Amino acid sequence: MTVAQQPEALNFECETGNYHTFCPISCVAWLYQKIEDSFFLVIGTKTCGYFLQNAMGVMIFAEPRYAMAELEEGDISAQLNDYNELKRLCEQIKRDRNPSVIVWIGTCTTEIIKMDLEGLAPKLEGEIGIPIVVARANGLDYAFTQGEDTVLAAMANRCPNQAPVTENEKNERNAIQKLLNFGKKKEEVVQEESEYVDHPPLVLFGSLPDPVVTQLTLELKKQGIKVSGWLPAKRFTELPVLEEGYYVAGVNPFLSRTATTLMRRRKCKLIGAPFPIGPDGTRAWIEKICSVFGITPKGLEEREAQIWAGVEDYVKLIRGKSVFFMGDNLLEVSLARFLVRCGMTVQEVGIPYMDKRYQAAELAFLEKACQEMGVPLPKIVEKPDNYNQVQRIYDLKPDLVITGMAHANPLEARGINTKWSVEFTFAQIHGFSNARDILELVTRPLRRNNNLKDLGWDKLVREEAKI
């Protein structure tokens, strides 16, 4: 394609393919580890149980904080009492684990038989004395990452309002603060308090590993921005306060329901920014938050340049190469934008579902990245038809295809380099310092093939794959 033929704006298409993605109940895998005082009860059939066992790789000696409430024929035909059965299970969970919250995860079956989980939960919650959050993270969703979106949207409704502080509470807080400041000089205490600019409260939403949460919180602190809380918090009892007029910002592109809930139900103000994936995205995310609060960002350009210099050994492996996204976890647009900045050409961005309002800033940033790097704008295909996609892959011959697990081996057998998209979901890819982790995943198949060629094994591997 010549420069004159390049489209001036992103081209969106929608096909009618199936959703080749995991079931959203897999969100339990990372959420039960993130929310340490929680217990997840998945209400579904034996098939759901088999999926969780296989997808999550449960160790024999581990005691994860989740369980299956398996629906039998008697449940489905309404011969058994749903309330009594769920009460029995929740009482057992309370007796054995005593969590701060029980999250009911609905499945396809609870949708089909119209099980009224939202109606049962408040009554049972009052009886057992433990909060019950209902999240219908079932297979009717577009992508498996939307399971987290559903859970966080439900938890957003449980975030507390700012209660008026009594005199006793004020004295208690002052005493705790004095204890925390014990041994510090008065100048040090004043300096710590003056590190933050006076701005409205900011709450960040999205489940990230604790080290990444700390990194992003500290990056904002350097700009004088104080993070009032994260949704989800490490503990359900520490959910952030949400009041009308609070500002919120997301860290993942698949959290559109949570964003909608925060705006409509809790009357918060959403900061629409690119997502903090890659050094370019992290800088843009911080700059956008700074601009909303009227703060002039400091040192971000140098910080980004420093990160790019540190990953040049990886970037040179993919610079000038092409990549094709088949669509799986809704991280595709953010990853495509980052890889364009690395010097790659993105031929197509397949994505199961596109919320153009929530991803508006990211889409504009992708467009800007392509223009600045001098590469064609990719075609974005929502709900792609995989048969058509495979034909396009044969025609375009990309250097790398990022795809779901189902299509990786068949494509590899035909001589096409692939990378599982699910790996980006579980890897630490947010913030400045994790750019290397993204590139480690992207370049792994290319480095592997280079090593095979050096050993002369590449032809043998391809022949065996065809057999």
Nearest residue to 20 via CA among 351, 442, 399: 351
Contacts of residue 266, defined as CB under 8 A and 6 or more positions apart, other chains included, come to 156, 157, 159, 242, 243, 244, 246
Quick one: pLDDT at residue 451?
A: 73
Predicted pLDDT of residue 49: 87
Give the tens place of pLDDT for each residue, 304-336: 999 999 999 999 999 999 999 999 999 999 999
What are the pLDDT digits (tens) for 172-211? 555 555 555 656 665 555 555 567 899 999 999 999 999 9
For tokens 């911080």, name the residue.
286
| pLDDT at res. 169 | 54
Give the pLDDT band of residue 165 (cuts 50, 70, 90). low
Query: If you average pLDDT over residues 254-270, what whole number do you get?
Result: 97
Per-residue confidence band for 466, with pLDDT thresholds at 50, 70 and 90: low
Q: Which of 40-49, 52-61, 115-124, 221-230 has the lowest mean pLDDT?
A: 52-61
Q: Tell me, what's the pLDDT at 181?
A: 60
Alpha helix segments (H runs only) across 249-359: 256-264, 278-292, 300-310, 312-318, 332-341
Instruction: Provide the pLDDT for residue 59.
Output: 46
Give me the amino acid identity at 411.
Answer: L
Mean pLDDT of all residues belonging to the chain: 88
pLDDT in tens, 104-163: 999 998 888 888 899 999 999 999 999 999 999 887 888 999 999 999 999 999 999 976
Q: Where are the domains of the chain?
A: 3-16+301-466, 24-141, 188-299
What's the burial of 12, exposed, middle or buried (CB within 10 Å: 0-12/13-18/19+)? middle
Question: Pick from 334, 287, 281, 285: which is nearest to 307 by CA?
Answer: 281
Yes or no: domain 3-16+301-466 corresponds to CATH 3.40.50.150: no
According to the model, what pLDDT value does residue 467 have?
47
CB half-sphere exposure, 140, CA atoms < 13 A: 11
CA distances to 43, 84, 103, 126 from 88, rounded to whole Å, are 14, 6, 15, 14
Give the span between the Cα atoms of 215 and 431, in whole angstroms: 7
Q: Across the chain, how many H-helices and E-strands are there?
A: 21, 14
CA distance 391 to 334: 25
How many other CB atoms sit within 10 Å of the CB of residue 238? 14
Q: Tell me the average pLDDT across 256-268.
A: 96
Is pLDDT at 345 greater than 60 in this prediction? yes
The answer to whether domain 3-16+301-466 and domain 188-299 are alike in fold is yes
Share of the chain above pLDDT 90, in %: 69
Query: What average pLDDT score do residues 15-19 get?
Result: 83
**pLDDT (0 to 100) of residue 3:** 42
Assign domain 24-141 to its CATH architecture. 3-Layer(aba) Sandwich (3.40)
Q: What is the fold of 188-299? A: Rossmann fold (3.40.50)
Look up residue 179 and give its amino acid: L
Q: Mention every residue, 6+ apart, whose C-beta is less than 8 A from residue 260.
A: 153
pLDDT value for 62: 56
Average pLDDT over residues 278-284: 97
* Sequence-ordered alpha helix ranges (H) in 97-209: 108-112, 117-128, 146-156, 167-180, 186-193
Which helix or strand (DSSP H or E) is residue 90 part of? Answer: helix 82-96
pLDDT tens profile 5-14: 555 688 999 9
CA distance 148 to 206: 8
What pLDDT band is residue 339 in, cutting at 50, 70 and 90?
Answer: very high
Per-residue pLDDT reduced to its tens digit, 406-450: 899 999 999 899 999 999 999 999 999 999 999 999 999 988 877
The span from the CA of 463 to the CA of 467, in Å, is: 6
What pLDDT was estimated at residue 313?
94
**Percentage helix, strand, coil for the chain under 3-state DSSP, each rounded to 5:** 50, 15, 35
Q: Which pLDDT does position 9 carry in this prediction?
A: 81
